[in-house]
Chains A and B, each alone.
Chain A
Amino acid sequence: MSLKNVLENWSDYRKTHEDGGHHDYEHMWGMVVDLNKCTGCNACAVSCYSENNLATVGKEKMGKGQGMHWLRMERYWDEPNVGGDEKEFHERGASFLPMMCQQCNAATCEVVCPVAATYHTPDGLNAQVYNRCIGSRYCSNNCPYRLRYFNFYSYYEDAWPEPLNQQLNPDLSVRDKGVMEKCTFCVQRIRTAKDTARREGREVRDGDAVSACAQSCPTKAITFGDLLDENAEVTKLWKFHQVELGKTKQDKANKELRGYRVLEGLNVDPCIMYLDRVREV
């Protein structure tokens, strides 16, 4: 896009980029997390660490809030006086909420990056270009979920001492200090699936691309797939629970349905639907 090109083809550019976003998505990768099935075992977080070359930072830095957990398992304890008496609170235990980047379609982080290091791909993904990032950290400030993590140190120097460096995933880079990163929906797996499908001369089928967290979940609480694919499991679940993209409030015919999106009232349009946990009172 040279300056000349912009000036001469401005009208074309405006027509194809009306709102500055993509209108013809090839895919719209989305997810369903069933909190009824989630046991809080953290297998998803561990698999995310190994798949995405996430650095382990140690207890001290983790305690200071400098960790790199793209997928964080949030624990919530019901307050004793709200949910019942003390005994009930211990019996019921915690409830869990696995939070990874929500891949918002109207992402607030994308707008504010000064160098456009984070942008929306035609796959409906909220991409982060590590090489372009200059570390202004505005995106993290503007993420209502706080799901972006910053390399406060050169973690790679200590995270994988010999021979652990051999376990690094060669499909994606190891990030240095000063770079923002976040869940990518395992973009390297999506890329591999698309390449394989193209090589075999077919469309990407449901199940070709599975994120590491979905793959490793022992209770199959996480479902990953393409929301534009009518036959995909995620699409069926979204339809069943009457949750739609592009809305700030879902008007459901059946109020009993459990599907919801976190903070969707902010109009960030997240691509992950959570199925509410049902507990006996």
Chain B
Amino acid sequence: MQTKDINENIAWAKINTDVLRSMENPRMGYWIAVVACLLMVSCAVMAEIYQYQVGMGPGNLNWPHMWDLYIATFVFWIGMSHSGTLLSAILHIIGADWRKPIYRFAEAMTTFSLMTAGLFPIIHLGRVWNMYWVLPYVSDRGIWPNFRSPLIWDAFAITTYLTSSALFLFIGMIPDLAICRDNARGWRQKLYTVLSMGWQGDDRQWRNFRKIYLLMACFLIPLAVSVHSIVSADFAMSIMPGWHITSFPPYFVAGALYSGCAAIITLFIILRYFFRFDEYMTIPILEKTCKLTFAIAMVWSYLTLIEFASVWYGHDPVAKEALVSRFVGPYSPFFWLMLFCGIIVPFALAVERFRRHLPTMFVVSILLNLGMWLERWMIVTPTLATSYYPFAFDVMWPSMVQWAIVFGSFGWFGLLFLIFVKVFPCVSMYEVKEMVFHRRQHNSPEIAKQFHRRASDRQAGDEQPSTGGA
């Protein structure tokens, strides 16, 4: 049974070999996964082509259900993108070093889920070909987008977040890309030579690197929080009962971190199994991730109950009716399933025996994300079914066109991720080495004394290190 986060006696060359090995010689399973993802994407592409030709009608969208799965899935993917920032930025700043072996793929997940999420507002537009009109480009007719609309804020927030998170992912990868460059041949060598941007690992480069990495981390945290708050503004800023709820921004941010962490657990187990990363993605690290997920799940559950309570005691008859219709209305089976997956299932994370059992954790993490996807659907659709105007009450079930596009989005995400794991190192080599180094220091005071001496550490017999000439 593994008890340490990482084995501190692991050789540095072995870290390099293990990670570089994962990037080469894809096995049969990899190609099967690629083909499966391609098939899923082609489902979505065919559905989208049909929808593009015919209009939004085949998706069963109707009056009053103008939004449905597309927007729900958009919020879901945006939510999933928040975990990477949590792991790489927040945990970096608070100095939780167990994040180091797993943050790289979490960050990649951030970027790719944003790339998936960004497609949905475009797919859902009635006139896709005019989508660039939401950008404030300079037009000689003086036409600007409507800056009061939360959809415009969305466009800004998402493009900013996508740019920053992609940049953050890339910057954090530079030292690793240099390792890849030194070990690669052929097209890979050319690629990594360009991407590693002349990294030599000298002192000045490391200092600048640390600075920019910390800066980006500090920049990304408020950005990530604001992005999902803005996404929640799509609903909270509207007048509709069930959407117009003050607690939506923190509720959405908590939900985002929740589904993101659950997705990290899923991908953790997949990568650990297929790439045999047992020594890096260790059980104690999984346990820590699970504990974090459990804490976030409890925050999310609390906010969910608070939302119900505030609507109930707010005593607005229409909002109350919308709330009650979620519990007992036509969509109630999904609503109860969401409450079960979101509030009851995470208690499995509180049990150590389950946390250490990979197949259980795999199922649990999938269930958590199912719950989070249902949560978004249950925010969008029941509200449209029950609004202010009783004449417009309607129940609508999405058609195969919508389901195919939602289904395909998972293939698209998977495809991007599969390409990533074979082109870029999905475990951060230099940070794992750093972690190993710190653990070695921690376990042997002799080495610690040798490497970790500061000017302020005065000890008998030690000579005061001179700092004058530095």
Contact = CB atoms under 8 A, between A and B. Distances in A.
Given A3-B138, A114-B155, A64 B62 contact: yes
Interface residues of A, number: 45
A216 interface: no
B63 A140 contact: yes
Contact of B146 (A99, A113, A179): A113
B63 A66 contact: yes
A167 interface: no
Contact of A135 (B126, B149, B240): B126
The B interface, classified by DSSP as helix, strand, loop or mixed, is loop
A152 B388 contact: no
A2 B142 contact: yes
Contacts of A137: 61, 66-67, 124, 126
Contact of B151 (A114, A152, A178): A114
Residue picked from B121, B150, B392, B394, most chain A C-beta under 10 Å: B392
Contact of A112 (B64, B149, B388): B149
B28 interface: no
Nearest to A267: B239
8 contacts: A20-B148, A116-B144, A134-B131, A144-B239, A153-B57, A177-B54, A178-B126, A178-B128
A184 B133 CA distance: 24
B146 A135 contact: no
The A interface, classified by DSSP as helix, strand, loop or mixed, is loop
Nearest to B131: A134
B396 interface: yes
B56 A178 contact: yes
A264 to B, nearest CB: 12
Interface of B: 54-57, 60-67, 121, 124-128, 130-131, 133-134, 138, 142-146, 148-152, 155, 234, 237-240, 384, 387-389, 391-392, 394, 396
A51 B67 CA distance: 29
State the 7 A-B residue pairs at the shortest beta-carbon distance, nearest first.
Answer: A135-B126, A178-B126, A152-B57, A65-B62, A146-B392, A177-B55, A137-B66
Interface in A92-127: 99, 108, 111-116
A136 interface: yes
A74 B389 CA distance: 11
A150 interface: yes
A1 interface: yes
A266 interface: yes
A135 B122 CA distance: 10
A64 B60 contact: yes
Nearest to B132: A134
A263 interface: yes
A67 B130 contact: no
Contacts of A116: 143-146, 149
